[in-house]
Amino acid sequence: MSSAEPTEQTGPAVRSHPQHPQHAERLQHPQHAERPSRPAPMPGLAESARLLADSTTTSTALVADALARIEAAQPTLNAFRHLRAEAALAEAAEADRRLAAGERLPLLGVPVAVKDDTDVAGLPTHFGCDGERPPVTADSEAVRRLRAAGAVVVGKTNSCELGQWPFTEGPAFGATRNPWNTAHTPGGSSGGSAAAVAAGLVPAALGSDGAGSVRIPAAWTHLVGIKPQRGRVSVHPHHDAFQGLTVNGPLARTVADAALLLDAAAGAHPDDFHRPPAVRASDAARRDPGRLRIALAWRPPLTLTGAGPDPEVRRAVAALAETLARLGHHVEEARPRYGLIGLTFVPRATAGIAEFAARHPEPALLDPRTRSALRTGTRLGGRVVRAARAREVRQHRRIGALFETYDVLLTPTTAAPPPRIGTFDRLGAWRTDVTMAAACPYAWPWNVLGWPGINVPAGFTRSGLPLGAQLLGPSRSEERLIALAAQLEDDLRWYEHRPPIS
């Protein structure tokens, strides 16, 4: 594994939006900003918590450092939509007072970021869209739980419009770029969170995953990304986001950090539809997974594109499979029985987009592809969506039969390396969907099923672009997947590789 050479790019064109003056500060416009030198990356999530508990540093220092690093990287990476500089520094000072008084919480005083589909009181939730939105008045349940664990939310990261695509670009904010090579996308739709963590701007960040939107950017930025069981992390105030497809999950450089953020954010709101029993993710990250039976699947579900993995993707995932075998696991190729699962995904996904798009105050500002999805989702809503969701039980049985023989399913996370910025520009709705399905055919079935999966770094292309592999399991199998990912990390030490922009 080797790191990439930096590629110089001019800053993306972004438009800042008015924010609540008491809680948010306008990000510097890349076209008019100088590019100061960047400080060294900050410590990880668990290390930051340890340093604070030991009084080796202060929350004020960590938060100020994160804010400075974000501002410095914004002209190049464009990872953030909003910052909470004044409010975050005030919360850091309060965290320092609590720490000095002897209080201890899992993330007390540690800076984190959340994606811009997540409500943070005092900030608008644009979810990648253009136009003005008023600040929301209450935190989402996931943010409430992060705050209860002591975390300081420094800002909200960029997402593509309504989280639809595996790239993070749009007229509302410009293009978010990959710190491994700024000519390429970090993926999407949690691309801002992934870019921020990979570049060392924050120790970890929360994303959301409705068709791979945590795992895909994790793969393309050399991170650990966990898609938890449906309901593990509340999506409130959206009790059943995107017809049950979307879940919130962490992005981090290590398994331990991702597990710590998952533990902090996990838990249901009283109104949530899905309420799985609790897991202890951090404990699992310290546990030996035992000897597991692992199925390696190359063939993606039917997407009508005929796409298979790029040769460099296949090489990287095959090498990871060999590592698993060397660690004592039984690994063999298998073919999951996906069936026509895409026929149930499309109605749920487009109906979910339609539900969010219908709430936009200025529909004319939406991307034409979004408006196309809105029309499709409206046509497929109601009876068709209910029928699609009713098939989930049979899909659990058919695909779940694999786990009568195997413990874990291993697949590529994506079929291709990260595309160049602008690859999807000027494509219509159909061509965007086809191009997207060819590049990312592996992740979305687990959103239909509602089951957990983890992206782990799988190395790099010969030109230095990151690649990833998925560890997928049956219902409520996060602890097994986390333990296996941690064992891989101990052997491969992927966290030692940092991007040129960090």
Query: What is the per-residue pLDDT across 380-428, written as a single tens digit (0 to 9) for each?
Result: 989 999 999 999 999 999 999 999 999 999 999 999 999 999 999 999 9
User: Of 6 and 185, which is predicted with more confidence?
Assistant: 185
Q: Taking 80 as the threshold, does the pLDDT of residue 11 lie above it?
A: no
Q: Average pLDDT in the 478-499 region?
A: 98
A 10 A CB-CB count for 422 gives: 12
Q: Taking 70 as the threshold, does the pLDDT of residue 209 lie above it?
A: yes
Q: Which residue has the tokens 């993330």?
A: 107
- Identify the pLDDT of residue 42: 83
Greatest alpha-carbon pair distance for the chain in Å reads 61
- Within 13 Å, how many C-alpha atoms sit on residue 289's CB side? 28
User: Of 20 and 48, which is predicted with more confidence?
Assistant: 48
- Within 13 Å, how many C-alpha atoms sit on residue 178's CB side? 33
d(CA 188, CA 186): 7
Edge to edge, what strands does the sheet with 111-115 contain? 80-83, 152-157, 111-115, 204-209, 247-252, 224-227, 453-460, 466-472, 408-412, 293-296, 330-333
211-215, 261-265, 302-306, 496-500, range with the lowest pLDDT? 302-306
Q: Average pLDDT in the 138-162 region?
A: 98
d(CA 1, CA 462): 9
**If pLDDT is split at 50, 70 and 90, which confidence band does 4 have?**
very low
Mean pLDDT for the chain? 92
User: Of 239 and 370, which is predicted with more confidence?
Assistant: 370
Q: Average pLDDT in the 476-497 region?
A: 98
d(CA 278, CA 229): 11
Contact predicate 277/391, CB 8 Å: no
Choose, from 59, 213, 282, 477, the residue flagged as catalytic: 213
Q: What percent of the chain has pLDDT over 70?
A: 92
Reduced to 3 states (helix: H, G, I; strand: E, B; else coil), residue 161 is helix
186-208 pLDDT per residue, tens: 999 999 999 999 999 999 999 99
- What Rg do the C-alpha atoms of the chain give, in angstroms? 21
Q: Average pLDDT in the 9-36 region?
A: 35
50-86 pLDDT per residue, tens: 999 999 999 999 999 999 999 999 999 999 999 999 9
A 10 A CB-CB count for 87 gives: 22
- Identify the pLDDT of residue 302: 81
d(CA 355, CA 368): 16
Contact predicate 206/146, CB 8 Å: yes
- Identify the pLDDT of residue 502: 85
**If pLDDT is split at 50, 70 and 90, which confidence band does 36 have?**
very low
Q: Is 234 a catalytic residue?
A: no
Residues 419, 351, 172: CA angle, nearest 5 degrees: 45
d(CA 478, CA 480): 6
**If pLDDT is split at 50, 70 and 90, which confidence band does 239 have?**
confident
Choose, from 115, 159, 190, 372, the residue flagged as catalytic: 115
Residues 451, 454, 455: CA angle, nearest 5 degrees: 140
Q: Is 213 a catalytic residue?
A: yes
d(CA 385, CA 137): 32
Return the DSSP state at 356.
Answer: H
The string over 459-497, giving b where at least 16 C-beta atoms fall within 10 Å of a residue's C-beta and e elsewhere, is bbbeebbbbbbbbbbbebbbbbbbbbbbbbbeebebbeb
Q: Compute CA 20 distance to the chain's CA centroid, rounded to the nearest angstrom.
A: 26
Contact predicate 220/466, CB 8 Å: yes
Q: What percent of the chain has pLDDT over 90?
A: 89
- Identify the pLDDT of residue 348: 97
Q: Taking 70 as the threshold, does the pLDDT of residue 39 lie above it?
A: no
Q: Taking 80 as the threshold, does the pLDDT of residue 303 lie above it?
A: no
- Identify the pLDDT of residue 327: 98
Choose, from 48, 59, 189, 372, the residue flagged as catalytic: 189
- Identify the pLDDT of residue 409: 98
